[in-house]
Amino acid sequence: MEIKPTALPDVLLIKPQVWSDARGFFLETWNEKEFELAGLDVHFRQDNHSRSIRNVVRGLHYQLTRPQGKLVRCTRGAIFDVAVDLRHSSPNFARWIGVELTETNYEMLWIPPGFGHGFQVLSADADVSYKASELYDVDSDRVVRWNDPQLAINWPLRDAAILSRKDASAPLMASAQLYG
Protein backbone atom coordinates (compact mmCIF):
# COMPACT_ATOMS: atom_id res chain seq x y z
CA MET A 1 0.00 0.00 0.00
CA GLU A 2 1.45 3.35 -1.03
CA ILE A 3 0.38 6.26 1.19
CA LYS A 4 1.14 9.66 -0.37
CA PRO A 5 0.70 13.15 1.07
CA THR A 6 -1.47 15.65 -0.80
CA ALA A 7 -1.21 19.43 -1.10
CA LEU A 8 -3.40 19.63 2.00
CA PRO A 9 -1.56 18.36 5.09
CA ASP A 10 -3.22 15.48 6.92
CA VAL A 11 -5.22 14.42 3.84
CA LEU A 12 -3.61 11.37 2.24
CA LEU A 13 -4.00 9.60 -1.10
CA ILE A 14 -3.74 5.84 -0.73
CA LYS A 15 -2.86 3.57 -3.63
CA PRO A 16 -3.25 -0.10 -2.76
CA GLN A 17 -1.27 -2.78 -4.51
CA VAL A 18 -3.52 -4.56 -7.00
CA TRP A 19 -2.93 -8.16 -8.06
CA SER A 20 -4.61 -8.88 -11.41
CA ASP A 21 -4.84 -11.92 -13.63
CA ALA A 22 -7.32 -13.54 -16.03
CA ARG A 23 -9.72 -14.22 -13.14
CA GLY A 24 -9.96 -10.58 -12.03
CA PHE A 25 -8.16 -8.70 -9.27
CA PHE A 26 -7.47 -8.59 -5.53
CA LEU A 27 -6.44 -5.68 -3.29
CA GLU A 28 -6.36 -4.74 0.38
CA THR A 29 -8.62 -1.78 1.09
CA TRP A 30 -7.54 -1.42 4.71
CA ASN A 31 -4.43 -2.52 6.56
CA GLU A 32 -4.04 -1.28 10.12
CA LYS A 33 -0.30 -1.98 10.18
CA GLU A 34 0.32 0.06 7.00
CA PHE A 35 -1.58 3.01 8.47
CA GLU A 36 0.35 2.75 11.73
CA LEU A 37 3.63 2.76 9.78
CA ALA A 38 2.44 5.99 8.11
CA GLY A 39 1.82 7.52 11.57
CA LEU A 40 -1.96 7.09 11.60
CA ASP A 41 -3.54 5.39 14.59
CA VAL A 42 -7.08 4.97 13.25
CA HIS A 43 -9.84 2.70 14.47
CA PHE A 44 -12.94 2.49 12.31
CA ARG A 45 -16.40 2.23 13.84
CA GLN A 46 -18.71 2.30 10.82
CA ASP A 47 -18.74 1.43 7.11
CA ASN A 48 -21.00 3.28 4.66
CA HIS A 49 -21.95 2.68 1.02
CA SER A 50 -23.87 4.95 -1.35
CA ARG A 51 -24.96 4.76 -4.97
CA SER A 52 -25.63 7.96 -6.88
CA ILE A 53 -26.34 8.98 -10.46
CA ARG A 54 -24.26 11.33 -12.63
CA ASN A 55 -24.04 14.95 -11.40
CA VAL A 56 -25.14 14.15 -7.82
CA VAL A 57 -23.20 16.17 -5.27
CA ARG A 58 -23.18 14.88 -1.69
CA GLY A 59 -21.72 17.26 0.85
CA LEU A 60 -19.92 19.06 2.25
CA HIS A 61 -20.68 16.96 5.35
CA TYR A 62 -19.06 16.78 8.78
CA GLN A 63 -19.91 16.07 12.41
CA LEU A 64 -19.25 18.92 14.82
CA THR A 65 -18.95 17.21 18.23
CA ARG A 66 -18.10 13.69 17.08
CA PRO A 67 -15.84 14.35 14.07
CA GLN A 68 -15.29 11.47 11.71
CA GLY A 69 -12.14 10.50 9.88
CA LYS A 70 -13.09 8.88 6.56
CA LEU A 71 -11.31 6.47 4.23
CA VAL A 72 -13.18 6.96 0.93
CA ARG A 73 -13.10 4.87 -2.23
CA CYS A 74 -15.15 4.57 -5.38
CA THR A 75 -15.99 0.94 -6.11
CA ARG A 76 -18.00 1.56 -9.29
CA GLY A 77 -17.82 4.49 -11.68
CA ALA A 78 -15.95 7.74 -11.01
CA ILE A 79 -16.25 10.61 -8.54
CA PHE A 80 -14.55 13.90 -7.79
CA ASP A 81 -13.87 13.62 -4.04
CA VAL A 82 -13.30 16.75 -1.94
CA ALA A 83 -11.90 17.41 1.55
CA VAL A 84 -12.11 20.89 3.12
CA ASP A 85 -10.23 21.95 6.27
CA LEU A 86 -12.94 23.34 8.58
CA ARG A 87 -10.70 23.90 11.62
CA HIS A 88 -10.50 27.63 12.47
CA SER A 89 -7.23 26.97 14.32
CA SER A 90 -5.57 25.38 11.29
CA PRO A 91 -3.15 27.28 9.04
CA ASN A 92 -4.99 25.55 6.18
CA PHE A 93 -8.47 26.69 7.25
CA ALA A 94 -10.88 26.81 4.27
CA ARG A 95 -8.39 25.15 1.89
CA TRP A 96 -9.62 22.17 -0.09
CA ILE A 97 -8.26 19.30 -2.13
CA GLY A 98 -10.10 17.39 -4.83
CA VAL A 99 -9.11 14.09 -6.43
CA GLU A 100 -10.73 11.75 -8.91
CA LEU A 101 -11.41 8.34 -7.42
CA THR A 102 -12.45 5.62 -9.84
CA GLU A 103 -13.16 1.92 -9.95
CA THR A 104 -10.08 1.52 -12.16
CA ASN A 105 -7.49 3.65 -10.32
CA TYR A 106 -8.37 1.94 -6.99
CA GLU A 107 -7.17 5.01 -5.08
CA MET A 108 -8.61 6.00 -1.71
CA LEU A 109 -8.63 9.31 0.13
CA TRP A 110 -8.00 9.59 3.87
CA ILE A 111 -9.91 12.59 5.24
CA PRO A 112 -9.08 13.20 8.91
CA PRO A 113 -11.46 14.48 11.59
CA GLY A 114 -11.98 18.23 11.35
CA PHE A 115 -12.55 18.23 7.59
CA GLY A 116 -15.71 18.51 5.54
CA HIS A 117 -16.25 15.88 2.87
CA GLY A 118 -18.19 15.81 -0.37
CA PHE A 119 -18.14 14.29 -3.81
CA GLN A 120 -19.65 14.66 -7.26
CA VAL A 121 -20.47 11.71 -9.51
CA LEU A 122 -18.71 11.93 -12.89
CA SER A 123 -19.88 8.62 -14.43
CA ALA A 124 -23.42 7.43 -15.27
CA ASP A 125 -23.60 6.25 -11.68
CA ALA A 126 -21.14 5.48 -8.91
CA ASP A 127 -20.85 3.44 -5.76
CA VAL A 128 -18.89 5.05 -2.94
CA SER A 129 -17.77 3.13 0.10
CA TYR A 130 -16.09 4.63 3.12
CA LYS A 131 -14.95 3.72 6.56
CA ALA A 132 -15.68 6.20 9.37
CA SER A 133 -13.74 6.55 12.62
CA GLU A 134 -16.87 7.60 14.55
CA LEU A 135 -20.48 6.49 14.46
CA TYR A 136 -23.00 8.72 12.70
CA ASP A 137 -24.53 11.21 15.15
CA VAL A 138 -27.59 13.05 13.82
CA ASP A 139 -27.29 15.78 16.51
CA SER A 140 -23.70 16.49 15.46
CA ASP A 141 -24.36 16.33 11.70
CA ARG A 142 -23.54 19.55 9.83
CA VAL A 143 -23.15 20.65 6.21
CA VAL A 144 -21.54 23.57 4.39
CA ARG A 145 -22.83 24.64 0.98
CA TRP A 146 -21.04 22.71 -1.76
CA ASN A 147 -20.61 25.79 -3.99
CA ASP A 148 -19.67 28.34 -1.34
CA PRO A 149 -17.86 31.19 -3.16
CA GLN A 150 -15.41 31.53 -0.25
CA LEU A 151 -14.20 27.97 -0.90
CA ALA A 152 -14.30 28.27 -4.72
CA ILE A 153 -14.16 24.49 -5.21
CA ASN A 154 -13.58 23.66 -8.87
CA TRP A 155 -16.36 21.07 -9.25
CA PRO A 156 -16.12 19.39 -12.68
CA LEU A 157 -19.88 19.48 -13.38
CA ARG A 158 -20.70 22.70 -11.51
CA ASP A 159 -23.77 23.75 -13.53
CA ALA A 160 -25.49 20.39 -13.44
CA ALA A 161 -25.42 19.49 -9.73
CA ILE A 162 -28.22 17.32 -8.32
CA LEU A 163 -28.62 17.90 -4.57
CA SER A 164 -30.59 16.58 -1.62
CA ARG A 165 -32.85 19.06 0.15
CA LYS A 166 -30.39 19.17 3.05
CA ASP A 167 -27.40 19.94 0.81
CA ALA A 168 -29.33 22.49 -1.29
CA SER A 169 -30.26 24.48 1.83
CA ALA A 170 -26.84 24.21 3.53
CA PRO A 171 -25.40 27.42 5.00
CA LEU A 172 -22.36 29.18 3.64
CA MET A 173 -19.18 28.53 5.60
CA ALA A 174 -19.26 32.07 7.06
CA SER A 175 -22.47 31.27 8.96
CA ALA A 176 -21.90 27.55 9.65
CA GLN A 177 -20.82 26.05 12.95
CA LEU A 178 -17.21 24.93 12.44
CA TYR A 179 -14.40 23.47 14.50
CA GLY A 180 -12.40 25.66 16.89
Summarised one tens digit per residue, pLDDT across range 109-131 is: 999 999 999 999 999 999 999 99
Q: Is 130 a catalytic residue?
A: yes
pLDDT at 127: 98
Catalytically annotated residue among 62, 106, 130, 179: 130
Of the chain, the end-to-end C-alpha distance in Å amounts to: 33
Q: What is the mean pLDDT of the chain?
A: 96
Q: Is 62 a catalytic residue?
A: no
Query: Are β-strands 46-53 and 78-85 bridged in parallel, bridged antiparallel, or unpaired?
Result: unpaired
User: Is the pLDDT reported for residue 39 higher than 90?
Assistant: no
Q: In the structure, what pLDDT confidence band is assigned to residue 38 with cuts at 50, 70 and 90?
A: confident
For the chain, list the domains and their CATH numbers.
Answer: 2-175 (2.60.120.10)
User: Is the pLDDT reported for residue 160 higher than 90?
Assistant: no
Q: Which residues contact 154 (CB under 8 A, 6 or more apart)?
A: 98
Catalytically annotated residue among 61, 106, 117, 179: 61
For 50-54, what is the mean pLDDT? 98
Q: In the chain, which residue ranges form alpha helices assigned H by DSSP?
A: 32-37, 165-168
For 163-177, what is the mean pLDDT? 97
φ/ψ of residue 43, rounded to 5:
-125, 125
